[in-house]
Amino acid sequence: MSNAVLKTVTKSDIQAMKDDAQQKYLTRVEGHDVDFQGQPDASGNLPRRWFKGAIVEFVASTGPDELLDIVLKKIGEGWTRSTTATTSIGAAYFNVYLMKPTVQQQEDLKGLYAEAEARLRAKVEVENEAIIEREVELHIANAARLKAEQLATEEQEAAAAIRKEVEQALGAARKAVREQLGAN
């Protein structure tokens, strides 16, 4: 048996995963985007998916009055201003970015934590399966090597026994020939 140790998920691993998920969540604008962790399709395009984020984009398309209405309504619901700057295209089209209320952020984070922990546990499980598979292959290779060494030893012993028999038989024949030659 080797010294390979299966991996486990520790509290510090879970906490690091939660901290990473929270940091990404707090700086992400919610919406569809490219999933750089996904598998590309046959054309090489990465998949798109919905990403939860603490920041939400609101669009006012009829001017600054609509923008103010959106902002005042959302502030009344507990939303706060984000660090993402408000942008405008022309005089009537505005994008404003607001942070979700804390209660909603906590609910989103619970789901993200559970999803990230499940991914972490699945990753560790895959790594452990690879460790087990390597150990099995190592044991099979060692058993095959030992069997080959044993077979080689047995073949050498059999060859030595045959050599001894042949030498004895030839020695007896040589002795008989010498006796015949010596007697004549």
Share of the chain above pLDDT 70, in %: 97
Confirm whether 119 is domain-assigned.
no
Q: Stretch 5-33: mean pLDDT, rounded?
A: 91
pTM value is 0.68
- Confidence bin at 167 (pLDDT 50/70/90): confident
Q: What is the domain extent for residue 43?
A: 11-114
Domain count, the chain: 1
* Residue 170, pLDDT score: 85
* Residue 158, pLDDT score: 92
Residue 110 has pLDDT above 80, yes or no: yes
Three-class DSSP labels, the chain:
CCCCCCCCCCHHHHHHHHHHHHHHHHHCECEEEECCCCCCCCCCCCCEEEECCCEEEEEECCCHHHHHHHHHHHHHCCCEECCCCCEEECCCEEEEEEECCHHHHHHHHHHHHHHHHHHHHHHHHHHHHHHHHHHHHHHHHHHHHHHHHHHHHHHHHHHHHHHHHHHHHHHHHHHHHHHHHHHC
pLDDT digits (tens, 9 = 90+) for 59-73: 998 888 898 999 999
Q: Stretch 33-41: mean pLDDT, rounded?
A: 84
pLDDT digits (tens, 9 = 90+) for 113-125: 999 999 999 999 9
Confirm whether 27 is domain-assigned.
yes
Confirm whether 142 is domain-assigned.
no
Confirm whether 71 is domain-assigned.
yes
Confirm whether 170 is domain-assigned.
no
Confirm whether 184 is domain-assigned.
no
Whole-number Å distance between alpha carbons of 75 and 128: 49
